[in-house]
Structure 1
Amino acid sequence: MNARLEKKLQLLAVVIVLGAISGIVFNLAQGRTLTSAMAVGMTYGLVMGLTLGMIELFILDGPLRTWLHGLSFTVNLFVRSAIYAVVIALIQGFRIGETVAGVPTAGVPLKISDKIFWAGFAYSAVLSIVMNLGLGISNIVGYRTFLNFITGRYHTPVEENRFVLFVDIAGSTGLAERLGGIRIHRLLDRTFRLLTLAVSDYHGEVLNYIGDEVIVTWREQSGAIDCRPLRCFMAMRDELAQASAQFEQEFGVVPRIRGSLHFGPVIVGEIGDVKRAIVFNGDVMNTTARLEELSRSVDGGFLASRAAMERFSSTPPFALRDLGRLPIRGRADGIDVLGIEAPALT
C-alpha cells in the first residue's frame, strides 16, 4: 500500500470514529437515551462519516483536487460545504440511520418541516463546516504544523535531531527571464505541487517554500527508515520526468532539480505574534543550504553529508560516490560528503 492511500485510509478511520461519537453525543443532548435511539445516532454518525470521508478523500481530494485548488479559500470552502449539505440532507431525509439500525420508522422519509430534521441537519452541517475549515487551514499551513500548533508541541523551543533536505529548481533565474513573472510563478506552483507528492509518499514534512526552493524535514526515527530522504529526492525527479510532456506543452521547458541532505540537531519552536510560525534554527540548516550551493557544480546535482548517510537504517537504494571532504563556507574544517552515482532509482 502506498503512503498516500495509507494516509487517506487512516484519516477515513478517524472521521468514521468521530462521526459515531458525534451521533451519540447528539442523541444525548436531545435527551434520547434509549438503546435504540443511541444505536440510530451512532449509525447516522458512522454513515455520514464514511460517506463524507469517502467523498472528501477520494473525490474532492482526488479527481477534483486540481480544480478545487484553483479556487480561492472561501469559494473552495463554500463548494465543499454545499456538497456536504446535500449529502447530509439526503442521508437524514431518507432515514438511512433508522434503516441500517432496523428501527420501525425506517422507509418513511422525514418531511423538511420536521424539527428533528433541521436539528440533525444543523448539527451535522456545523460539524462538517468545522471539519472543512480545519482541513483547509491544515492544507495552507501543513497538516503537521497545524497539529503542532494545536497541541503546543513547540510552544517552548526544543532541540530535535532532524534530516533536512533542500531542493532547488535549477536555472530558475534564466527561466524567469524566459517565461516572465506570471508564467514562472505558475511553473513553480505546478512543480512544487508535484514535488510534495513525493514528500507525502516518504512521510516528510514541508518546512517552507523559499523562492525556487523547498525545504523538507524528517525526525530522526522516521527519516532513518529505508533511506526516506534519499528516496524522496529521487521520487521527486521521477514525478517531474513523468510530467515532462505536460511541462513541455504548457511552458516549453521541463524543470530540473538539485538537492542537498544533512542531519543533526536543530532548534524547533514557535516564533512571532501577528503571523506566528514554527521555525527551525541551527547549524544544520545553514550547512544544508551551503551544500545545496555546492551541488550546482557536481555531477548528479545532489550532495549528502556523511553524517546523514550514517544515520540510515538500511543500505541506500542506488549507488553513491564518496567525494571526500569539501570546503564549505562557514566551516573551517569542511564537511565529508557523498554524491549520487545513478540518475534514478533502480
Structure 2
Amino acid sequence: MNARLERKLQRLAAVLVAGILSGVAITLSAFGGGAAQLTVGITYGFLLAGVIGSIELFVLEDWDWLKRLSFLSNLAVRSAIYAAIIIGIQLLQPGERIAGVAPQDSLQNFWSSFARSAIVSVLVNLGFGIANLIGSRALMNFVTGRYHAPVEEDRFVLFVDIAGSTGLAERLGGIGIHRFLDRTFRLLTQSVVDYRGEVLNYVGDEIIVTWPEQSGAVDCRPLRCFVAMRRALQKAAPQFEREFGAVPQIRGSLHFGPVIVGEIGDVKRAIVFNGDVMNTAARLEELSRKVDGGFLASRAAMARFAGPPPFPVSDLGTLPIRGRVDGIDVVGIGAVA
C-alpha cells in the first residue's frame, strides 16, 4: 500500500476509535447507560469522527493555503468547517433513527448536543494541530512515555543538506531564503513519508531523518528516500526557478548504529538523539561536499540492508574523518540515479 495512504488510514482509524469512545463517555455522563442511548452516542461518535477525520486527512491536509496560516488561524478555519459538519449531521439525527428512539424536537437539546460534539471535535482538531507542529510520532512517543527514560536503539540516520544556501541567502535575503527552505523541506518531507522515515529535526539548511533498523533495512529505504528527494526537486525545478530564480540541490550522508533516544529539557521538552552515530553522520555530510555525486553512505549502513541497493554504488574506500583515527569505509552514488 502507498505509504502516504497507509499513514492517513492509520490516523483515521485512531480518530474513529477516539470518536466512538467519546460518544460512549458523553452518553454515560449525560444520559446514563441505556442501550438505546449508547447506540445513539456510538453512532454520532462514529459518524462525526469518520466524516471530520476523512475531510481533515484527505481534503484539508492538501490545501496549501491552509498550511500557510498561523496556528490559531488554521485552528479557527478548521473549527468552522467542523461546526458546519456537526450541525449537518445532527439535523439529520442518524443516531436516533438507527437506535429507533424519538428524534430530538427541542432546540435546547439540539444545541446541547452540538456543544458536546463541538468540544470533542475542537479537542481532536487541537490534537491534529499539535501533531503537525511536533510530528505525529513524537506526539505519540510523548503520550506513551516511550522515551521518558533514555533507551538505546539501532537506527539509520540520514543527513540531507541544501547546497549553496549561504549564497542564496545573500541573494534572496532573510525572508526569501526562509521561504525557499520551507518550500524545499515541505517537498523533501513527502519522500520521507513515502519511505516511512521519521523527520528528527530541521537544523538551518539541513533535514535529519531516521529509521529504526527493522524498518530502514527493508528495500534500502534510506537510499531510495534520498534519490526520491532528488527526483522530486528535479520535477519541481521549473516552479522553483520561476519563484526564486534558483533550484535547490541536495547533498547527503547515511550512517547506522546505536543511538541514545530520550526526553530532555523542562520548559521546552524534546525527544533527542545522541551518540557517535549522529556525530559521524554529520561529519560524513561534510565530506559529501567534496565527492562526486554529493552523497556518502557508510559500509556499516550498507551492510544492514536486507537486499542489494536498487542502483549502482561506487566504492570510495576508507576516507579520513574527524574524530576517528582509522577513518571510515564509504560508498557513493551518482548525482542523478
Does TM, scored on the shorter chain, surpass 0.5? yes
Match of 1:255 in 2: 248
Match of 1:79 in 2: 77
Residue in structure 2 matching 1:205, options 175, 198, 201? 198
Match of 1:91 in 2: 89
Listed as ranges, the gaps of 5+ residues in structure 1 are: none
State the shift of 1:299 in Å: 1.3
Asked if the contact 2:188–2:232 (Cα under 8 Å) also holds between the matched residues in 1, the reply is yes
AA at the equivalent of 1:307: A
Deviates more, 1:14-23 or 1:51-60: 14-23
Give the TM-score normalised by the residue count of structure 1. Answer: 0.94
Question: Which residues in structure 2 correspond to 1:55-204 (within 5 Å)?
Answer: 55-62=55-62, 64=63, 66-99=64-97, 101=98, 103=100, 105=102, 110-111=105-106, 113-115=107-109, 117-204=110-197
State the shift of 1:110 in Å: 4.6
Q: Structure 2: how far apart are the matches of 1:25 and 1:148? A: 25
Q: Deviations over 1:146-205 (max 9, x none)?
A: 111111111111111111000000111111112111111100000000011111111111
Asked if the contact 1:327–1:335 (Cα under 8 Å) also holds between the matched residues in 2, the reply is yes
1:265 matches 2:258: yes
Match of 1:285 in 2: 278
Asked if the contact 1:265–1:284 (Cα under 8 Å) also holds between the matched residues in 2, the reply is yes
State the 4+ residue runs in structure 1 displaced beyond 4 angstroms: none
State the shift of 1:23 in Å: 1.7
Match of 1:25 in 2: 25
Match of 2:291 in 1: 298
Listed as ranges, the gaps of 5+ residues in structure 2 are: none
1:274 matches 2:267: yes
1:41 matches 2:41: yes
Give percent identity, aligned residues only: 66
Q: Deviations over 1:36-73 (max 9, x none)?
A: 322222111111111101110111112x2x11111110
Q: Deviations over 1:194-222 (max 9, x none)?
A: 01111111111111111100111111111
Q: Structure 2: how far apart are the matches of 1:171 and 1:216? A: 20
Q: Relative to 1, partners in 2 of residues 1:289 and 1:203: Cα closer, same or farther, differing over 3 Å? A: same
1:51 matches 2:44: no
Q: Structure 2: how far apart are the matches of 1:305 and 1:35? A: 61
Q: Report the count of equivalent residues.
A: 337
State the shift of 1:122 in Å: 1.6
1:9 matches 2:2: no
Asked if the contact 1:3–1:201 (Cα under 8 Å) also holds between the matched residues in 2, the reply is yes
Q: Deviations over 1:92-151 (max 9, x none)?
A: 12212233x162546xx755x232x22321221111111111111111111111111111
Q: Structure 2: how far apart are the matches of 1:31 and 1:40? A: 11
Q: Relative to 1, partners in 2 of residues 1:321 and 1:16: Cα closer, same or farther, differing over 3 Å? A: same
Q: Structure 1: how far apart are the matches of 2:207 and 2:116? A: 40
State the shift of 1:32 in Å: 4.3
Match of 1:231 in 2: 224
CA RMSD in angstroms, aligned pairs only: 1.5
1:337 matches 2:334: no
